[in-house]
Structure 1
Amino acid sequence: MIVQKVLVVGAGLAGLSAAIALAQRGVQVTIATLDPRAEGTSITITNRAVDAVEALGVLDACLAEGLTPADGKSIFSAVWDGAGNPVPVPTSPIPPTRLPAYIAIYRPDLSRILTDAAEAAGVTIRAGVSFTALEDKGSHVDVAFTDGARDRFDLVVGADGAHSAVRRVIHPGIAPIYTGWMSFRLVLEDGPDGPAGFYTLPAGSGMLATVRLPGNRLYLAAGKQMENRRIDQAEAVALLDTVLAPYSAPLIRAISNRLQDQPKVFARPFDYVLVPSPWHRGRVTVIGDAAHATTPNLASGGSIALEDGVVLAEELEKADSVAGALDAFMARRYARCAMVVETSLAMMRRADDGDPAGNAALRAQAMAELVKPY
């Protein structure tokens, strides 16, 4: 192995994936994260990301904590109109493997599974700590931490999200771009009955995603075009209620009725980032959302982040230099990840214009690529 000691900044999906995959190969890995707690709702591990969680040794745990399709179909196979009537959709391809097409899982549960696996593999997790300086010396990177400590690493991996501090060091000037849409997400305990899937309104005037989770939880994700600003909890609930109002489907009306209980609603801007190739500078690189944050239209952002960590470890194991490994990583990752960002953004814009047929064609084309091995 060409690296013996690696710092991963961030404990999200990409960071934990990279840390586990590297530690499995005998690398001494430290994760520095300001907040190790996973806040969030649901994530769907789609396409070949299911292969990635198997490679990380956590497939059984994810299957135990998540739900998989009983019919083997794509997550995009269940589509309903605003009244709850089924909408015919083209068949989306699924990976030709023995593994499930996707795993729907509560995001904090997935984070716990990955964190446990990282610690079991020997990864050191330094919570509440970030860095104040990264100095690439050519043969190593000197790192100063916020707690006053200093250390030396063979490689620094920035997996610290769309607002990445590592990216600001090696790619100054690249920042998230707001799409004009705000997302609203929640998980209801003891979720109401009704068919989960995608609920759509005519001419691109709205779409909701609902997913069943273990423990009779129900996940809902919606979007609203509006200015980018901070939204408190009470306003988030009120805004989500206005988004749900045009839908008469029984499941959506039941969710709307539950809003009077003031459930936790996560309101976040739909931002995107795509760092031009290469993502690395010397012995510092970014992966995951730090390199390619995307809108959710392909339900693949978390999946490609999981893939990133596995592929990075594979290339570091095969190469005879860090530069060679990072170049090989880019050769495998850039086109795939750029396709997800660009297609998701195009789908969001087509939804604005009311082009469901065009969106279906874009999705089918993208899925045909994403079912291929990473």
Structure 2
Amino acid sequence: MSETLPSATNLQQGARSRPCVCTVLIIGGGIAGLSAAVALSRVGVQCNVVEIADSPLGASLGISGRAAEALAELGVYDQCYATSTPFDRNTTATYIHDTEGRVISTGPKRPEWPGARTALGVYRPELLRILEETAKSLGVVIERGVTAEAIEDRDETSLVTFTDGRQRSFDFVIGADGIGSRTRSMIFPDAVKPAYSGQISIRWMVPGPEVAGEGWYFGPVGRLGFYHLPQDVIYVPAVITMPEFKRMSQEEVHALFAHLLDAFTAPAMVELRSRLTPDADLICRPFDWILLRDKWHRGRTLLIGDAAHATTAHMGMGGGMALEDAVVLAQCIAAAPTLAAAFDAFMTRRFERVRTVVETSVALSQLEQANAPPSENVKLLTSAFSTIAEPY
């Protein structure tokens, strides 16, 4: 792997020369924004984060492969491990079952390498808490309820106007504000828009004890999987084909999800169905995606994470790519003589990697919509995982 981020102790000891920039505004306080703040702080950049939203959604995500190593480079892997569900090589979480619960595939083969970190199932609010506390311990300033209204490059700085009327200059700006990025619209008004994949996701956090038989279940209505989290909840993500997306009421989402569960006779699915109450909090979202195929930066502003390359969840690598973005950006900022050189190096190292994730995820969605056998999905997943097993 490319050079490891220096620890805070090394920074305090002055073991590293001054980076090519000193200050940054990070727009977005999600996984991409907070991990960028941690990584850049560790190489000596003063970070300010603004986040317009109040609180994160309470679902879960998987962090595997090199993305788990990115957590380690950020200095938070051990904390995440302590509050997550680890998935070792013997995990059944990738097993694919039919409607009756019979295993029809053990899932894709993931490459391994010496010292590889164990994959984790992480409760998203817990990950954000760990990242935020780490960022604050490194001196990061985080403001909520405010964001950037306008960005103007002036010589060697960016003048930012905030939604509360304030103005302030920074050496550069990072747009980490998600698939609906306002930052992207500001710097690339003619950029492609997010595209709908033809499928939706429904995520359910089920309180209560574990259920045996974790893994994925394929049925005539769609597929869903589950695993248990240390917070004494079960994470249940589902994928359903909907050729034309329409917004649904909570009652409609509940009815669709119940219909999905009713198609299974597997004991695990029957148990989960018994726990589905009318007031269950179901998070329904379209599987949208976007990939900026040219530069992700203009002037002194750079896009990272979903703002530049949002993907469907078919590979489970969206959050992982955001973590990798943060680590690689910090490495480039620390090593490059100028901001422009750092941005170019970042693009060189990141584009093909995230393109593999985005395009493979969309292809997997298309296979599912064509009712291809699970073996075709497993073959494509195995190939893609082999590609991104290379160091970032």
TM-score range, shorter chain: over 0.9
Alignment of structure 1 residues 133-282 onto 2, 5 Å: 133-173=150-190, 174-201=192-219, 206-226=222-242, 227-282=244-299
Residue in 1 that maps onto 2:122: 105
- State how far apart, in whole Å, the 2-side matches of 1:75 and 1:171 are: 43
Which of the two has greater helix per residue?
1
Deviation at 1:363, TM superposition (A): 0.3
Residue in 2 that maps onto 1:27: 45
Q: Read off the aligned partner of 1:183 and give its amino acid letter.
A: S
Deviation at 1:257, TM superposition (A): 1.8
Q: 1:231 to 1:295 in 2, by over 3 A?
A: same
Deviation at 1:273, TM superposition (A): 0.6
- State how far apart, in whole Å, the 2-side matches of 1:164 and 1:151 are: 21
Task: For structure 1, list consecutive stretches of 5 or more residues without a partner in the other structure.
Answer: none
Q: 1:86 to 1:124 in 2, by over 3 A?
A: same
Residue in 1 that maps onto 2:8: none
- State how far apart, in whole Å, the 2-side matches of 1:137 and 1:94 are: 47
How many residues were matched structurally? Answer: 371
Q: TM-score normalized by structure 2?
A: 0.91
Residue in 2 that maps onto 1:95: 112
Deviation at 1:78, TM superposition (A): 1.9
Question: Could you tell me whether the CA contact under 8 Å between 1:105 and 1:214 is conserved in 2?
Answer: no
Deviation at 1:154, TM superposition (A): 0.9
Q: Secondary structure at the match of 1:269?
A: strand
Q: Read off the aligned partner of 1:208 and give its amino acid letter.
A: L
Residue in 1 that maps onto 2:3: none
Alignment of structure 1 residues 317-332 onto 2, 5 Å: 317-332=334-349
- State how far apart, in whole Å, the 2-side matches of 1:91 and 1:178 are: 25
Deviation at 1:76, TM superposition (A): 6.3
Match of 1:125 among 139, 142, 166: 142
Residue in 1 that maps onto 2:76: 58
Residue in 1 that maps onto 2:319: 302
Residue in 1 that maps onto 2:34: 16
Q: Secondary structure at the match of 1:151?
A: strand
Q: Between 217-226 and 228-237, report the one with greater CA deviation.
A: 228-237
Task: For structure 2, list consecutive stretches of 5 or more residues without a partner in the other structure.
Answer: 1-18
Question: Could you tell me whether the CA contact under 8 Å between 2:196 and 2:288 is conserved in 1?
Answer: yes
Question: Could you tell me whether the CA contact under 8 Å between 2:84 and 2:120 is conserved in 1?
Answer: yes
Q: Between 245-254 and 191-200, report the one with greater CA deviation.
A: 191-200
Whether 1:336 aligns to 2:370 is no
Q: Between 253-262 and 182-191, report the one with greater CA deviation.
A: 253-262
Deviation at 1:36, TM superposition (A): 4.8
Q: For each residue in 1:105-161, what CA deviation from the matched residue of structure 2 results, as whole angstroms up to 9, or x when unmatched?
A: 111111111111111111100110111110022411100001111111111000000
Q: Read off the aligned partner of 1:210 and give its amino acid letter.
A: F
Q: Percent identity?
A: 38
Q: Secondary structure at the match of 2:198?
A: strand
Question: Could you tell me whether the CA contact under 8 Å between 1:192 and 1:254 is conserved in 2?
Answer: no
Residue in 1 that maps onto 2:95: 78
Question: Could you tell me whether the CA contact under 8 Å between 1:5 and 1:154 is conserved in 2?
Answer: yes
Q: TM-score normalized by structure 1?
A: 0.95
Deviation at 1:277, TM superposition (A): 2.5
Deviation at 1:262, TM superposition (A): 2.2
Q: Secondary structure at the match of 1:295?
A: coil
Whether 1:4 aligns to 2:22 is yes
Q: For each residue in 1:243-293, what CA deviation from the matched residue of structure 2 results, as whole angstroms up to 9, or x when unmatched?
A: 222111111121122112521100111100101121111111100000011
Q: Between 231-240 and 17-26, report the one with greater CA deviation.
A: 231-240
Question: Could you tell me whether the CA contact under 8 Å between 1:79 and 1:89 is conserved in 2?
Answer: yes
Q: Read off the aligned partner of 2:25 and give its amino acid letter.
A: L
Residue in 1 that maps onto 2:11: none
- State how far apart, in whole Å, the 2-side matches of 1:271 and 1:191 are: 33
Deviation at 1:192, TM superposition (A): 4.8
Whether 1:359 aligns to 2:359 is no
Q: Read off the aligned partner of 2:86 and give its amino acid letter.
A: T
Question: Could you tell me whether the CA contact under 8 Å between 2:223 and 2:240 is conserved in 1?
Answer: no
Deviation at 1:373, TM superposition (A): 1.4
Q: 1:74 to 1:192 in 2, by over 3 A?
A: closer
Q: Read off the aligned partner of 2:368 and give its amino acid letter.
A: A
Q: Secondary structure at the match of 1:215?
A: coil
Q: Between 279-288 and 248-257, report the one with greater CA deviation.
A: 248-257
Q: Between 212-221 and 51-60, report the one with greater CA deviation.
A: 212-221
Deviation at 1:208, TM superposition (A): 1.2
Question: Could you tell me whether the CA contact under 8 Å between 2:25 and 2:47 is conserved in 1?
Answer: yes
Question: Could you tell me whether the CA contact under 8 Å between 1:16 and 1:115 is conserved in 2?
Answer: yes
- State how far apart, in whole Å, the 1-side matches of 2:121 and 2:147 are: 31
Question: Could you tell me whether the CA contact under 8 Å between 2:65 and 2:116 is conserved in 1?
Answer: no
Q: Read off the aligned partner of 2:57 and give its amino acid letter.
A: E
CA RMSD of aligned residues (A): 1.7
- State how far apart, in whole Å, the 2-side matches of 1:250 and 1:357 are: 23
Deviation at 1:95, TM superposition (A): 3.5
